[in-house]
């Protein structure tokens, strides 16, 4: 069972726009402001033909907030809070693995499909994040350091150095820093010709 894919579900939900807000980095983030937006996100994430209700939408929005709090606590170095919040999700949304075989693949583990949309999503996401944190450490969850972006990410770098959600934010931050250095530094002096 590849739980990193389940952990990525937490990232995708935490980065989903919630109605009136849009992705700060200009990417096409999912928008769970409407039932259609939630259906679109679930279909894109291989939860096809999932029936969703207004209650599911509200539950997924609450789950989004909880995942954002977990990433924020981890990014701030508060691993105790991050783990307590993650443990609370695991208790609230228990995980039940089962063997499965499909698409000509060998037997492998999946998480059972019990409960509502938010229960299934939360169980897989929380279990994936838990396994990832147990293997890599709690300092692997981050919030983008770009001032205009609040997207979350999982730092899979070998030296734990990731600071931005993606290349676009990293490039923008580098350009902004370069411009700031140029403004605050001494003016460029052009060489004069010898007389």
Domains of the chain: 3-184 (1.10.3300.10)
pLDDT for the residue numbered 62: 93
pLDDT for the residue numbered 192: 59
State pLDDT tens for residues 116-157.
888 888 888 998 899 999 988 888 999 999 888 889 999 988
Please list the ranges in the chain whose pLDDT falls under 70. 1-2, 19-29, 46-49, 112-114, 185-195
User: What is the torsional sign of CA 38, 109, 133, 81?
Assistant: positive
Q: Rg of the chain's alpha carbons, rounded to an integer? A: 21
Whether the predicted model's global pTM rises above the 0.85 cut:
no
pLDDT for the residue numbered 67: 95
d(CA 85, CA 93): 12
């Amino acid at each position: 069972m590849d739980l990193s894919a389940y952990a990525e579900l937490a990232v995708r939900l935490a980065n989903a726009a919630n109605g009136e807000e849009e992705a700060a980095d200009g990417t096409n983030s999912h928008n769970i402001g409407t039932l259609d937006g939630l259906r679109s996100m679930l279909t894109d994430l291989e939860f096809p033909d999932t029936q969703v209700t207004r209650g599911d939408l509200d539950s997924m929005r609450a789950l989004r907030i909880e995942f954002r709090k977990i990433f924020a606590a981890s990014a701030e170095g508060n691993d105790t809070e991050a783990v307590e919040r993650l443990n609370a999700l695991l208790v609230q949304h228990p995980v039940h693995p089962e063997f499965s075989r499909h698409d000509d693949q060998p037997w492998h583990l999946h998480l059972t499909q019990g409960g509502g949309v938010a229960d299934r999503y939360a169980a897989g996401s929380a279990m994936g994040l838990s396994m990832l944190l147990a293997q890599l450490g709690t300092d692997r969850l981050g919030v983008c350091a770009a001032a205009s972006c609040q997207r979350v990410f999982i730092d899979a770098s070998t030296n734990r150095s990731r600071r931005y959600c993606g290349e676009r934010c990293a490039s923008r931050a580098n350009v902004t820093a370069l411009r700031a250095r140029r403004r605050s530094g001494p003016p460029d002096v052009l060489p004069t010709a010898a007389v």
